[in-house]
Amino acid sequence: MLITQLKPKDDVSSMAGGSTVVICCEGCREVHFPELEAAETIGELTSGGKVSAAVTTDYICDPDNLKLQLKKIMDKVNAADTMLVFSCGVGVQTVAAAFEEKKVFAGCDTFALPGYQGVTPLEYDCAQCGECHLNDTGGICPITACSKSLVNGQCGGSKNGKCEVDKDMECGWERINGKLEKLRLIDAPGHPVKVRNFNA
């Protein structure tokens, strides 16, 4: 099981702006999701003019279902600069992969709870490690995409884009840096060091 918790309201508000589409996943039954709090936050963002469209659905971790649920608002999605996703880390990664040319932000942090994890048609993994860094890494999880779970960049051991630990695995940080370059989000030298808060 897992639990999702909304990020602080000020942080969420700063992610939305200009042309933003919100996707809110109600989650599967194995997930505790703060539905009322998310609805209230989305309402505030919409009334404040920070959101051009919002969709609440379930199982956005299934790319086919995601496309189906967004079909009615694809004109707004295509015009959007940013997508703000309220879901576990798997949903955020699915949206980021489906819309590679968009900035995709996580509105939630995901925590593990003991118990049955459920069965989802997911391609991506969420380590449910608390404070989510997907907003800084182009929607690619540095914890699960990097065999060493590094949050501050490459180890320097990759060769030809492959991980030094698992030769069949793409280097997660090469993927992240490629995505950030594509979105023009690469920070200037001196990128601030991220310190993981496992108790967030």
- The domains of the chain are located at 2-133
For the domain 2-133, what is the CATH code? 3.40.50
Condensed to tens digits (0 to 9), the pLDDT of residues 99-135 reads: 999 999 999 998 877 665 555 555 667 888 888 889 8
Listed range (20-24, 25-29, 129-133, 196-200) with the worst mean pLDDT: 196-200
Are 153 and 146 in contact, with CB atoms under 8 Å apart?
no
Which tokens is 52 given?
């051009």
The whole-angstrom separation of Cα 3 and Cα 87 is 10
Contact 6, 35 (CB under 8 A): no
Over range 10-32, report the average pLDDT: 85
**pLDDT one-digit tens code per residue, 40-97:** 999 999 888 889 999 999 889 889 999 999 999 999 999 999 999 999 899 999 999 9
pLDDT of residue 2: 75
Average pLDDT, the chain: 85
Q: How confident is the model at residue 189 (pLDDT cuts 50, 70, 90)?
A: very low
The pTM is what? Answer: 0.85
> What residues pair up with 5 in beta bridges, in sequence order?
109
